[in-house]
Amino acid sequence: MSENDGVGSDSGLVPITEGEWAGWSTWPGDSFEQSSGPFYERIGDDGRPVAAFRAENRHMNGAGFMHGGCLMTFADSAIFTIAHETMGDSHGVTLSLTGDFLDPVSEGQFLEARGEVVRAGGKTIFIQGLITADGKPALRFNAIIRKIRS
């Protein structure tokens, strides 16, 4: 299980105002996501949440492609971005996360995760999504988040 403190945490979502990530925001208080990514998020032109990061050498496996664990870590972070509005002020944990690896990711590629809440009721939220690398599908994912407190 992974946990994301979301909105209301002491660290808070911080907007980026300069550089490649200007217009995006990040969670500086989430040290794992910062060292794994860092991962960024924003509301896309279509009004839906999107998460992103750039593939660096440190994300690659011995064959020179992005490590599958890195892609799954990004997906795990992205499900909370996708479900942010549905989560409200609640915290949550990942109950289930599955992924289908569609294509390798190379160093320098720009990764985006987009998706939707398929169903939300009570304490359980179902999410599906797709991670693309430079616009090409790289990972399809499905997840379940369990709200743990409001």
Per-residue pLDDT tens for 44-71?
Answer: 999 999 999 999 999 999 999 999 999 9
CATH of the domain at 67: 3.10.129.10
CA-nearest of 43, 38, 76 to 59 is 38
Rounded Cα distance between 85 and 83, Å, is 6
Any idea what DSSP says for residue 64? S
- Residue whose tokens read 């990711």: 105
Domain span at residue 129? 3-149
- pTM here is 0.89
pLDDT of residue 88: 87
Integer-rounded Cα Rg, in Å, for the chain is: 15
Q: How long, in residues, is the chain?
A: 150
Q: For position 1, what pLDDT does the model report?
A: 39
Q: The tokens of 83 are what?
A: 């479900």
Per-residue pLDDT at 126: 98
Q: What is the pLDDT of residues 74-112, one digit of tens each?
A: 999 999 999 999 998 899 999 999 999 999 999 999 999
Closest CA to 25 of 52, 5, 3: 52
| Contact between residue 88 and residue 150 where contact means Cβ atoms under 8 Å apart | yes
Looking at the structure of the chain, the number of domains it has is: 1
Give the start-end residues of each E strand in 48-149: 49-54, 91-101, 110-121, 124-133, 136-149
Residue 120 has pLDDT above 70, yes or no: yes
